[in-house]
Amino acid sequence: MTFGFASSPAASLSTPTSSASRVLEPAEWAAAGIPLLRNPREVVSGLHARHRPRPSTAVVAVLDPDERLCASASFTRRSAAPADGWMFRNALLSQLRRVIPHDLRRRTPVRTAVLLYCREGDARWTEEDGAWMWGLRDACTLHGLRCGAYITLTHDGWQVLGEGRGGRRPNAHSEPEPFATADAPPPAPRTGGPVSEVLRRAAAR
């Protein structure tokens, strides 16, 4: 379901004059108290299956307190544009406003936004990653969400930056895996056969 919103005053803030402060270093990110994902592989596999990201694709997702997906959106970063946290913040905020209402009226955020970014290169931190981190943190503040994990997807696999957790699949060029079993409907009860007939007779006694 898509929601429409009026422009927030925060979105019309003037562009900062320097981009130096719009990048978060790995140490700053680790010290920010980002909540850990209980099952990062399930989150990554689910987003990968839904959005099928390719290099330069960002997927922002909102999770409830039980780590169930509330909403998600994907978009492609323009490769010619410089890595700028302020621009990334605006892009993320635009996507969040499009897919889910804000939680600004809450005293404490209850939902968490995570970002999966598919890019070329290896899994090592880059300045572009730092700009995405800055943008995610700021977008979460302006939308009333907790800032969650930043995950990179490269040809090496996926990695939750700042946590040291990752895996080889999915990766930037792999085919989507089936949805997690938690997303699948429960199997229909089996009927018929000799065992079912025995149970039916026992219940009728």
For 170-182, write each residue's pLDDT tens digit.
999 998 876 543 4
157 and 169 in contact (C-beta within 8 Å)? yes
Sign of the CA dihedral 174, 175, 178, 182? positive
Burial class (CB in 10 A: 0-12, 13-18, 19+), 176: middle
Please tell me whether the peptide bond between 109 and the residue prior to it is cis, using omega within 30 degrees of 0.
no
pLDDT digits (tens, 9 = 90+) for 38-74: 999 999 999 999 999 999 999 999 999 999 999 999 9
In 97-145, which ranges are E strands?
Answer: 112-118
Task: Parse the chain into domains and list their residue ranges.
Answer: 20-184
Using the CB atoms, write b or e for 64-82: b if 16+ within 10 Å: eeebebebbbbbebeeeee
| Residue 36: predicted pLDDT | 92
Domain 20-184 has CATH 3.40.50.1100: no
Say how many CA atoms lie within 13 Å of 161 toward its Cβ. 30
Burial-class residue 17 by CB neighbours within 10 Å (0-12, 13-18, 19+): exposed
Distance CA 139, CA 135 (A): 6
In this structure, what token pair is assigned to residue 158?
A: 């996926």
User: Among candidates 13, 82, 69, 8, which has minimal Cα distance to 37?
Assistant: 69
Give dist(CA 47, CA 53) in Å, integer: 9
Q: Supply the pTM of this predicted model.
A: 0.77
Mean pLDDT of 141-146: 96
Q: How far is CA 77 from CA 26, 85, 116, in A?
A: 22, 12, 13
Report the C-alpha gap between 37 and 33 in whole angstroms.
Answer: 12
Give the other-Cβ count within 10 Å of 13's Cβ.
12
Mean of the per-residue pLDDT values for the chain? Answer: 82
Residue, of 6 and 105, whose pLDDT is higher? 105
Q: Which of 27-36, 75-84, 93-102 has the lowest mean pLDDT?
A: 75-84
The two three-digit tokens of residue 105, written as one number: 């009226």
